[in-house]
Structure 1
């Protein structure tokens, strides 16, 4: 009960890689990629990605690690994926060192020490403009399924771009609003190159866009999807728009106590476009039962001994009011057509 249940991580998706420095004594040079990079401990997974999206499989050892993996710098700047149910995105400000994660912060409090944000306290509101060696970096991680690759599991995409974090979160929030986190959602993911000019300085940075991939917008806004629809959105082409559930007018009518109240239920149904000859006849029968003293919920006949509403002295506490004459059967429409909007 205390362990997290999550799908197996099959590999990673990146938007950058590193190349060796010309000086072998210096650190590798980071490169921003215009296409997706796939890496995994399994050569089969990377080979399948290379076959699907191009590129050459190579052996690769991440920095500060000793275990070799496999990597392919693909030729695809756009891929199709599936977001699993739940919230697949996590975001935090993090600082890593040779000993692992030294700080993880939500922008207000540091998770490990529960102290106020160190970067904000030291450098002020524009702390994110400082060198990554001085401050935490915004880290966004999103898990996706790649249905065209082998085995059941997720691939993790990680971005450390400050400006890309909002774009990624916005796309995922759109999906969660549509599915309420209750189902999978097919998405398109692509690398979009953007430019930002601030204080006379131009910055180029990649943004990973995550957008629901469905035939029409209404399909993305009509609630959770089936697994079949997530795998093949084409099945939604003929899917009708989801209608709001229709109220149970018969149950509402049976809870009333006068014919006038039952007539009011009919008017409500008719104005909502739910009126029909069948519903009208059913409501008339319920009203007739009430007029004869029959409880429409139990079918019991009122024998005049009902003590509902009596006080401790056996007196009925009622309020006498002057009103128009009670409605009669003439208040029912002579002919009922769906959505006729009949009035008495």
Structure 2
């Protein structure tokens, strides 16, 4: 392996974002299905082919750079948690001028002051209207194995409830894998509601779930890449099934009883034996037995017209392998 710059953090390129909302004009809209955005038209069109929706060009708010997006029809998508710690979480307050606050829950990191939201509004500060306080912002870097490219996709949520669940889920996985290897997960948008001050509020929460593996597997150590990519085996490339041998033709071509017994053994090993086939093989063996020249019969001394010499065939008193009892006819397939 070649060398690396030790003073630069290595990371995969970001291909795009996984969102739970979109803008319609200048109005933000929530989505019950995933919205996938990227600078790459190819990625977005591939995502539309997988999860539905119509690709369209799109320019984010406060930006002049055109991107692509698709509002998919899927509320769940398959992803991989990548090696390392893929989750970053801060309480953030943004404006048109950029990030105004970034807090780790105890200290506002830009001003180095104690958490401003908690100091001002108490422990339920997150219940305040959006824009007045920070949003609990969680960013999870994942790989989408069915899209082209080896880069990352960033799933982002501003849900206070998702923040605790994402942190708990990722920390449990990291405890088992030590941040090594990939972990297959499902990212699912789940509708929820909460009653506060007599009013019911509905909102989507992104849930991260293990996919195709059990907690025992996830906590037992790093998972092999092959298992992470295909945890249920549903995507495994099926081996092309060989055509069923023509056992009767093989038996007809047999020259000795031993040859017929070889055909029998092959059919037995393949699970193709049935009573009609056994009866046919026994009949062919008896046929060959009756065709065998009797012991002591004079054989031609010289070669025949093809240059082949006749060979005397001597049978054992008991065949080395008999014809075992077979279950009901047709139990293992047709002839």
TM-score by length of 2: 0.65
**What is the aligned counterpart of 1:10 among 11, 15, 33?**
15
Indicate whether 1:87 and 2:92 are aligned. Answer: no
Contact preservation (8 Å) 1:167, 1:208: no
Indicate whether 1:71 and 2:73 are aligned. Answer: no
Pairs aligned (count): 229
SS at match of 1:5: coil
1:104-150 deviation digits (Å, cap 9, x = unpaired): 00111011121111122222222222222221111000000001000
Contact preservation (8 Å) 1:175, 1:212: no
SS at match of 1:234: coil
Give the superposition deviation at 1:215: 4.2
Contact preservation (8 Å) 1:164, 1:206: no
Give me the whole-angstrom Cα distance separating, in 2, the residues matched to 1:229 and 1:127.
43
Give me the whole-angstrom Cα distance separating, in 2, the residues matched to 1:124 and 1:107.
12
- Runs of 5+ in structure 2 lacking a partner? 1-5, 235-335
Task: Tell me the residue number matched to 1:152.
Answer: 150
- Pick closer, same or farther for the CA change 1:58–1:142 going to 2, 3 Å: same
Give me the whole-angstrom Cα distance separating, in 1, the residues matched to 2:11 and 2:18.
18
Give me the whole-angstrom Cα distance separating, in 2, the residues matched to 1:133 and 1:84.
33
- Pick closer, same or farther for the CA change 1:2–1:117 going to 2, 3 Å: farther
Task: Tell me the residue number matched to 1:107.
Answer: 105
Contact preservation (8 Å) 1:12, 1:38: yes
**What is the aligned counterpart of 2:226 among 222, 228, 234?**
228
Indicate whether 1:61 and 2:55 are aligned. Answer: no
Give me the whole-angstrom Cα distance separating, in 2, the residues matched to 1:216 and 1:124.
39
Task: Tell me the residue number matched to 1:161.
Answer: 159
Give me the whole-angstrom Cα distance separating, in 2, the residues matched to 1:215 and 1:127.
37
1:25-59 deviation digits (Å, cap 9, x = unpaired): xxx22221111000000101101100111100001
- Pick closer, same or farther for the CA change 1:108–1:129 going to 2, 3 Å: same
Task: Tell me the residue number matched to 2:130.
Answer: 132
Give the superposition deviation at 1:228: 1.4
Give me the whole-angstrom Cα distance separating, in 2, the residues matched to 1:140 and 1:171.
13
Give me the whole-angstrom Cα distance separating, in 1, the residues matched to 2:43 and 2:150.
11
Contact preservation (8 Å) 1:171, 1:209: no
Question: 1:1-344 counterparts in 2 under 5 A?
Answer: 1-20=6-25, 28-234=26-232
Contact preservation (8 Å) 1:58, 1:72: yes
1:225-253 deviation digits (Å, cap 9, x = unpaired): 111111111369xxxxxxxxxxxxxxxxx
- Pick closer, same or farther for the CA change 1:135–1:222 going to 2, 3 Å: same
Contact preservation (8 Å) 1:194, 1:204: yes
